[in-house]
Amino acid sequence: MSNVYDFSANSLDGKPVALRDYSGKVLLIVNTASKCGFTPQYEGLEALYQKYRAQGLTVLGFPCNQFGAQEPGSASEIGSFCQKNYGVSFPLFEKIDVNGDGAHPLYRWLKSSAKGLLGSEAIKWNFTKFLVDRQGNVVDRFAPTTKPEDLKTNVEALL
């Protein structure tokens, strides 16, 4: 695969979404969880989305239960939690695996395109973030500890 637009994933309500639908957008792709110490980052992700979406930013959330079983809920529970507690309006997708043999193809590609600490491809925890430019190329990878508000400069540079 040559860029992010070559992939598809199912939305939280189970409908297939071709990522080429986001062609020409700057994307912030994040593996999320509802019962994690980093869960409050949903608020910052939504704030980034609201601030920059008119300029072309889209945040894409991919719930994942691989880290401490911190995303145990069903799709409807995840959607309800995110909307009720954080007002999330950016697109959320079905729960996926980001590591291992069952890792979603998008995440296999993201990890190989932007390696983590010491060249590792593995996602270490929830709320790892990938920033993708308007051409569908991964520009950077950010650790879970990187707060969404700390990405403003990086996002603005691509808009």
Catalytic residues: 36
Q: Pseudo-torsion of CA 134, 9, 95, 93, nearest 10°? A: 60
Q: What is the DSSP letter of 42?
A: H
- Among 140, 154, 132, 141, which residue's Cα sits nearest to residue 25? 132
Residue positions counted in the chain? 159
3-state SS record for 7-27: CEEEECCCCEEEHHHHCCCEE
3-state SS record for 67-85: CCCCCCCCHHHHHHHHHHH
- Among 157, 152, 153, which residue's Cα sits nearest to residue 49? 152
